[in-house]
């Protein structure tokens, strides 16, 4: 990579930041799913002997950042900065985790794209020479998110078939200016795309056009095509959104039929009956910080494109009859 500014929305990293460690955590349902072998920590339940789901989410963030540091024989104290966020109002879980970890902190909100946003800004800080070692992290908690966005779990409201299941989990990645591991090579910063969908259950279909917009821009900006990558992953479009991406890309002449998967289709087994798949900040965070990172380290993948997808609505915007603004950020990660 020679140019840091690349096309309309992309960035090329010259001193490519290395992802030297990751860690992830999941709840019991996630632990019984398709990623069971790839979790560092699986909680026995969704509250972990704490007083609230929100506190449990803070605990998960603390655990993944600490565990990712320990894997490289370091400690959280060595992290120059932490960039993180979650889905809760005022990033509640992140802020209490950051209070515990007590490192210089930058709060981000990209809804379910936050894990990728944290690595993208973190990578600019490292390539730019402002840091040598930092962590990006994101979390979501099924019950905390459901009661905020939709209905309290205890109410037992029936979920529509289009609904996705918010993942209880967290992921953290440690980025370094030196060391070995997969490198961040390009980033494409998304624009907001809103195709008028108003149903806050149908988040995959709402986000799919944003993912497609960022994919097309990424290929145009970098001169690459889908075949350049061994795999392309989106964050949490689920089964319906994933099919939309394949179809919408095909209409634009981009064939994703062979090397594309959505993290929201990689977490739960069919018999877990989550309907349209997984969602939440933790969807891309746990799959990237577990399975994908391990595949990159083993060189089973050489080049991947990770596209974080975020649905940026709020309960208030829904009540005000607004449609759902969405965003997608892409990161190219290569061994």
Q: What residues make contact with a copy of itself under the rule CB under 8 A? A: 4-5, 8-9, 11, 14, 51-52, 54-55, 80-81, 85, 87-92, 95-96, 98-99, 102-111, 117, 120-121, 124-125, 127-132, 148, 189-192, 194, 312-317, 320, 322, 325, 327
Name the minimum Å distance from CB 189 to a copy of itself: 4
Beta carbon nearer to a copy of itself, 78 or 272: 78
Q: Which is nearer to a copy of itself, 67 or 313 (CB)?
A: 313
329, β-bridge pairs = 308
Per-residue 3-state assignment (H helix, E strand, C coil) for 33-100: CCCHHHCCEECCCCCCCCCCHHHHHHHHHHHHHHHHHHHCCCCHHHCCEEEEEECCHHHHHHHHHHHH
Nearer to a copy of itself, 92 or 296 (CB): 92
CB of 271 to a copy of itself, least distance (A): 32
Which CA distances in Å does 332 have to 119, 215, 226?
11, 11, 12
CB of 69 to a copy of itself, least distance (A): 16
Q: What is the largest CA-CA distance in the chain?
A: 55
Nearest Cα residue to 334 out of 197, 224, 190: 224
The strand pair at 260-262 and 231-234 is best described as parallel
Q: Are 284 and 236 in contact (CB under 8 A)?
A: yes
Residue closer to a copy of itself, measured from CB, 138 or 296? 138
Distance CA 150, CA 159 (A): 10
Q: Which is nearer to a copy of itself, 71 or 95 (CB)?
A: 95
Nearer to a copy of itself (CB atom), residue 187 or residue 286: 187
Q: How far is the CB of 149 from a copy of itself (least distance, A)?
A: 9
CA 189 to chain CA centroid, Å, is 14
CA 73 to CA 215: how far, in whole Å? 37
Residue with smaller CB distance to a copy of itself, 199 or 261: 199
Spatial neighbors of 300 by CB under 8 A, at least 6 apart, are: none
CB of 164 to a copy of itself, least distance (A): 17
Rounded to whole angstroms, the Cα distance separating 25 from 285 reads 9
Residue 92 CB, nearest approach to a copy of itself (Å): 5
> Least distance to a copy of itself from the beta carbon of 147, Å?
9
């Amino acid at each position: 990579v020679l140019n840091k500014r690349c096309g309309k929305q992309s960035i090329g990293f010259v001193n490519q930041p290395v992802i030297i460690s990751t860690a992830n955590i999941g709840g019991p349902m996630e632990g019984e799913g398709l990623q069971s072998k790839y979790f560092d920590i699986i909680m026995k339940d969704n509250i972990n002997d704490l007083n609230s789901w929100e506190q449990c989410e803070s605990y998960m963030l603390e655990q993944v950042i600490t565990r990712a540091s320990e894997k490289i024989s370091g400690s959280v104290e060595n992290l120059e900065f932490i960039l993180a966020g979650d889905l809760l109002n005022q990033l509640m879980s992140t802020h209490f985790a950051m209070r515990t970890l007590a490192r210089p902190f930058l709060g981000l909100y990209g809804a379910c794209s936050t894990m990728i946003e944290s690595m993208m800004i973190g990578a600019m800080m490292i390539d730019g020479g402002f840091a040598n070692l930092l962590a990006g992290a994101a979390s979501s908690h099924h019950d905390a998110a459901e009661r905020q966005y939709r209905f309290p779990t205890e109410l037992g409201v029936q979920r529509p078939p289009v609904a996705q299941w918010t993942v209880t989990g967290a992921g953290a990645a440690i980025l370094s200016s030196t060391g070995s591991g997969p490198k961040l090579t390009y980033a494409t910063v998304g624009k907001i795309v809103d195709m008028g969908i108003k149903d806050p259950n149908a988040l995959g279909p709402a986000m799919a056009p944003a993912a497609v917009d960022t994919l097309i821009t990424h290929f145009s900006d970098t001169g690459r095509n889908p075949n350049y990558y061994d795999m392309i992953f989106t964050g949490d479009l689920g089964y319906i959104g994933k099919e939309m991406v394949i179809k919408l890309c095909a209409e634009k002449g981009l064939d994703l039929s062979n090397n594309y998967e959505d993290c929201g289709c990689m977490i739960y087994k069919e018999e877990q009956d989550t309907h349209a798949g997984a969602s939440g900040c933790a969807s891309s965070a746990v799959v990237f910080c577990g399975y994908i990172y391990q595949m990159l380290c083993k060189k089973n993948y050489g080049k991947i494109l990770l596209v974080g997808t975020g649905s940026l609505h709020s309960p208030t915007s829904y009540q005000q009859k607004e449609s759902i603004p969405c965003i997608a950020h892409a990161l190219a990660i290569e061994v």
